[in-house]
Amino acid sequence: MGKKKVIQKSETEAVKEPVVTKKKTEGAQTRYEKGFIYIQASYNNTLLTVTDDKGNVLTWLSAGSLGFSGPKKATPFAASKVAEAIVEKIQKSGPSTVEVFVKGVGSGRDAVLRSLAAQGLNIVSIKDITPIPHNGPRPRKVRRV
């Protein structure tokens, strides 16, 4: 390990350098006209993701992040509250015309769609993208209690 070289500046040199302070500036928010909403309704939770037309995530929300816990996360009431909160989040910059993709078999599927339509979003299409197996691997043996 060598010695560290410390350069000391005189007072006149230190005064000449401008002091740079970073200003927190809010840039102009981009307005999105068209976007996608992905709903994932599982048996345990309901998640909503809002993306722009290129697929970049703008915001997301789940029933668990709103404070619902345990079996209450999978209820239709929690799903409708998630939809209301997500519409409130995207009110300023988010898309007003959306395509909805629904995935999963949870009880919050229909509640989210009804709540999104009631909040005033212009829903262009609704597509179900739940994965369906086309005779994949052999199922597990039947559980005997």
All structural domains of the chain = 56-128 (3.30.420.80)
pLDDT at 98 > cutoff 90: yes
pLDDT digits (tens, 9 = 90+) for 13-71: 656 655 555 444 455 578 899 999 999 999 999 999 999 999 999 999 999 999 999 99
Structural contact between residues 73 and 134, judged by C-beta atoms closer than 8 angstroms: no
pTM of the predicted model as reported, rounded to 2 decimal places: 0.75
Buried b (16+ CB within 10 A) or exposed e, 73-104: bbbbebbbbbbbbbbebbeeebbeebbbbbbb
Residues near 73 by Cβ (< 8 Å), separated by ≥ 6? 44, 45, 46, 62, 63, 64
**What are the Cα distances from residue 49, in Å, to 85, 87, 103, 110, 145?**
12, 11, 12, 16, 40
Task: Give the pLDDT score at 28.
Answer: 55
Task: Give the pLDDT score at 25.
Answer: 47
β-partners of residue 103 are 40
β-partners of residue 100 are 37, 126
With pLDDT > 90 as the criterion, what percentage of the chain qualifies?
71
As a whole number of Å, the end-to-end CA separation of the chain is 69
Task: Give the pLDDT score at 19.
Answer: 55
* Half-sphere exposure (Cβ direction) of 114: Cα atoms closer than 13 Å: 11
